Every structure is written in C-alpha cells, then in structure tokens.
C-alpha cells in the first residue's frame, strides 16, 4: 500500500502537469493511476427499478397559459419535496444553444495541453479557472474529471473566457438565467416565499474522458450541492445517478437519470433546502465517468 508521502508525491506530480485527466489519456495510459482509483464499495451499481423515474416537467405554456400555473407549481413542489431532482422540457432554450455549449466544452478539453494550461488554477478568487478535482489533495480518491469554472454574475462575463467557449457561453448564460427566473417563480409559489437568487451565477463545465478501467474510476463522487439551485445540461451519454429512497423503510438505491433529449436537469441545493426549512430536499448524487455536462449554479 502506498504511504501518505507517496500519495502526496503522486498527486503533486499529477497537478503539476496542469493537463488534468485528459493529459493522462493523451499520454496513452492503459490503467487508472492509484490516486484516481475508487474502492468497490463506492462504486455500487444503480438499481434497475421500474417503480421510479426522475420526474419530467413540461414547461410549455408557463408564460402564455396562466391556467397551467397551478399545475406546474404542484409538479415542481412535489419533485422538490420528494426527489430533489427533476427534468424540464419545452423550456424555451434553443436546441442550437444547448448543443453549441456542449460542443464548445468538448472543443476546449480536446485542445492540446499547452492551450489549456494557462487557465489551470486552484485560486478560488479567479473568475476563470480550469483544473482537475477542486479537492484533489483532500479527497480519498480523485475523480476522473476535469472542470472549467466561469464566474458569470454578478460582475459579468470575465474577459479571459477561453476562445473555444467565448462565442457561446454568454448566450447560454443569458438563456439559462431566463429559465432560472421561471424556475424561481414556480419554487417561490410552491414555498409561499419570494426567491430572488439570480445575482450570483456560475457556469461549471465538467469533462469526463473515457476511462480505461471504468470499474475503478468515478466521474463525480457522491455529494450534495452547496449552491442554491443547479440547472444541468448533460450530453446523450448519460452517467448521472441520484440516491433515492423508494420506501422509507428500505435502503436507498442509485437511480439513473436518463439523458432526456433537449432537457435540462434541475436539482435542489443545500442553501435552498435550508431556506425551505427542509421541505425541499438536497439529495446526494454522483456521475459515472462517461459523459460531458455543463451546469449553471445559482448561488
């Protein structure tokens, strides 16, 4: 077994490359390094449960059909209280904007390490930072994931946005801010409170390269979000799983969140759970190492 000193040495060497997990793939590795291996008990498979599916809420008519408002509020309220996750369709964000945002993230991550390296930083004060695992030196096992973080509000888009993303990220942010406004209106009515939480907003783009040993690696370890609300766009590969109690007297199980075409995934964060007096649930989730996703976090 590697000692703590050996592990720190390997973590430091990995971080010093400033190339992330993608750098390992580019180097031609065929096995997952020890610092990125997860023990079997953390990789329990999702359950094939026909009794449950993540709610899908159709937002068609949310602004043009007032008669649907009560129905939509009830659907959002039920999902927030029982699952903590739901998908929204017919949300008004053009499909071209969604696909271009994912393509831009892929493009950035597929650039040579020399092009990505200038953005590599662990300085949380930086409005633009690219790194692999924000908690690299604290977690028991690192995740098979690289991340581009863009702080878009309230100060506005930073000038140093990478060229691969610069043309689309502002438009994508504007569209998802509009969607966020609709969601906050529905959540506000469900709680009987005014939720004015659009001031702080971040774009977080996660990239999960194909793992040579997916049975040993994890894209994102189980956790809850500390933010207020997250609006997530995932590609068609999928990999997102939510921990859900099918019955209170049973053990929770991992449930796949299918990649619904043209949908956004919405999940409740820790801050909203606290503000709702635990009426809304911030639940644990994880991501298998096989997809690309882009999330807007409202803080």
CATH of the domain at 64: 2.60.120.330
Tell me whether residue 246 is in a domain. Answer: yes
Instruction: Give the integer Cα–Cα distance in Å for 55 and 76.
Output: 9
CA distances from 77 to 155, 184, 185, 248 (A): 31, 11, 12, 19
Q: How confident is the model at residue 48 (pLDDT cuts 50, 70, 90)?
A: low
For residue range 181-222, what is the model confidence (pLDDT) as tens digits? 999 999 999 999 887 766 788 999 999 999 999 989 999 999
Answer yes or no: is 241 within a domain: yes
Give residue 194's pLDDT: 83
In a domain, 7, yes or no: no
Domain extent for 274? 55-119+127-132+142-298
Residues whose CB is less than 8 angstroms from the CB of residue 276 and which lie 6 or more positions away in sequence, other chains included: 80, 191
249-265 mean pLDDT = 86
Closest C-alpha to 290, from 210, 215, 232, 213: 210
CA distance 169 to 181: 18
Question: How many domains is the chain built from?
Answer: 1
Report pLDDT digits (tens) over 223-247.
999 999 999 999 988 889 999 887 6
The H helix count followed by the E strand count for the chain is: 7, 12
Direct distance between the N- and C-terminal alpha carbons of the chain, in angstroms, rounded to an integer: 40
In a domain, 248, yes or no: yes
What is the distance between the alpha carbons of residues 206 and 297, in angstroms, rounded to a whole number?
Answer: 13
38 within a domain of the structure (yes/no): no
Residue 20 within any structural domain of the chain: no
Q: Which residues contact 129 (CB under 8 A, 6 or more apart)?
A: 119, 120, 121, 122, 123, 148, 149
With respect to residue 182, please indicate whether it lies within any of the assigned structural domains: yes
Question: Does some domain include residue 33?
Answer: no
Q: Is 106 helix (H, G, I), strand (E, B) or coil?
A: helix
Read off the pLDDT of residues 270-291 as tens digits, 9 standing for 90 and up.
999 999 999 999 999 999 886 5
């Amino acid at each position: 077994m590697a000692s703590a000193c050996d592990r720190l040495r390997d973590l430091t060497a990995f971080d010093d490359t400033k190339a992330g997990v993608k750098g390992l793939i580019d180097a031609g590795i065929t096995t997952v390094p020890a610092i990125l291996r997860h023990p079997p008990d953390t990789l329990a498979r999702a359950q094939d449960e026909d009794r449950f599916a993540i709610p899908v809420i159709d937002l068609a008519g949310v602004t043009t059909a007032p008669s649907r408002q009560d129905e939509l509020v009830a659907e959002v309220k039920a999902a927030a209280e029982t699952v903590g996750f739901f998908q929204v369709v017919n949300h008004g964000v053009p499909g071209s904007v969604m696909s271009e945002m994912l393509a831009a993230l892929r493009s950035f991550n597929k650039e040579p390490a020399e092009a990505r390296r200038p953005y590599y930083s662990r300085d949380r004060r930086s409005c633009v930072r690219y790194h692999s695992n924000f908690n690299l030196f604290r977690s028991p096992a690192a995740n098979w994931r690289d991340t581009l973080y863009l702080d878009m509000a309230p100060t506005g888009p930073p000038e140093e946005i990478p060229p691969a993303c610069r043309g689309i990220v502002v438009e994508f942010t504007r569209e998802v801010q509009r969607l966020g406004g609709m969601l906050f209106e529905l959540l506000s009515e469900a709680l009987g409170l005014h939720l004015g939480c659009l001031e702080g907003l971040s774009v977080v783009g996660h990239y999960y390269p194909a793992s040579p040993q997916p049975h040993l690696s994890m894209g994102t370890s189980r956790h809850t979000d500390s933010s207020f609300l997250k609006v997530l766009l995932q590609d068609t590969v999928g990999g997102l799983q939510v921990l859900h109690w099918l019955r209170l007297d049973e053990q929770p199980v991992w449930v796949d969140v299918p990649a619904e075409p043209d949908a956004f995934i919405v999940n409740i964060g820790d801050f909203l759970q606290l503000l709702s007096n635990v009426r809304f649930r911030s639940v644990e989730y994880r991501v298998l190492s096989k997809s690309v996703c882009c999330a807007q976090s409202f803080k």
